[in-house]
Structure 1
């Protein structure tokens, strides 16, 4: 009976570190499970290297049974780029939050994308800085209350939410893979991760996946409110789907029609 009730874990997970260290209701666990499943299905455990940023993503430092490196805040992409250039046979995964990718690390994201560095970057978007108490982040929604926007974010003062995948899609060439998934659709998210990793396996180019995620701790939301935020509100600003797919990946896995993912 115990085996029947035991939830299946990806083989690439490090079992002795579970349950994980993330807050209850956090979306990181769902995203990392989808990533683990993608790694398993592609048989990458022996050659994949996982790099994680400072912030909530640092709690993934012992998540996988993979070679792992924790970097300085915002520097995960250049660390993984350096590793990939030194050891091109490795599959290098840079995992970060929206602060690490769109704020302090924005220059690294932009330059790695324009140089078509052959790594896979995954960015978790939960609309605020989670680990430091819920301050406004580049992805904070208009009107959203945070520790530093107690009356709601005013776009006239602080601008609008960063559209990361749209930016990356605009500055990369046709060999890049760019998508935005959501923890509300873990099966679809797994397929996006697989295609992003396959693009690196094939030596084609830069791969970037943003993940719409949840932070009920700092949002101060219950389960129902959290899921409405993830499923209904966030996608009105952050369109879910594949934004750029190399020709060689088309027709494999997830299909895209009229800019949306089926």
Structure 2
């Protein structure tokens, strides 16, 4: 008795249909955004969500605000999870990255955004404020980079974007700790780019410009206060977030400082 071929039910799918089905079967890429409970971190998370990404929403203390960010990610078409960690604690950072690695099938992008403001005139600057700002903004980023690099190496590459500040370039009265911490990020970013480029890991730093957030509300310039901006206006949160997402996707750029507004460096 001859063996018969199985009957086909309907026409065979075209190759383009097969490709689309295979693409849909792939897990979405994942981005972990530190400091995502508000401000620029929330806008970045929302932008990745709008592209269908899985977004890790990190927070330090304000879980309710992080949950609001996650709701925006979901409503924009993405998926996501919450991650709590104090970036000043290396063990907490490592645990966060380990969970991200094991619970997301395609960890691809890491956004180092967690940071705090703080400072005073140098002549009366307290060690407490100095240590807290530097520990969060600079040392915390070091802990994050050190933890995430092996994850991206194991995947054959990825992208890291560090959020810097113009204050790190030019300084600012009463902002010694903040300026020093943000200036240090440039050297840290470029060192990481040199060391990890052979692993196809891109590392860049973005200057997002002025945005009206909880961290800047007390020093945000009023209307008309943009004489140092060629376009005479600041960059919006969504504009900065789109730039950061675009930069994260560039496969040929690393070790660079990207300016998101119209101020000249």
* TM-score bin, normalised by smaller chain: 0.3 to 0.5
Name which one, 1 or 2, has greater alpha-carbon Rg.
Answer: 2
User: Structure 2 length as normaliser, TM-score?
Assistant: 0.44
User: Structure 1 length as normaliser, TM-score?
Assistant: 0.45
Give 1 or 2: higher helix fraction: 2
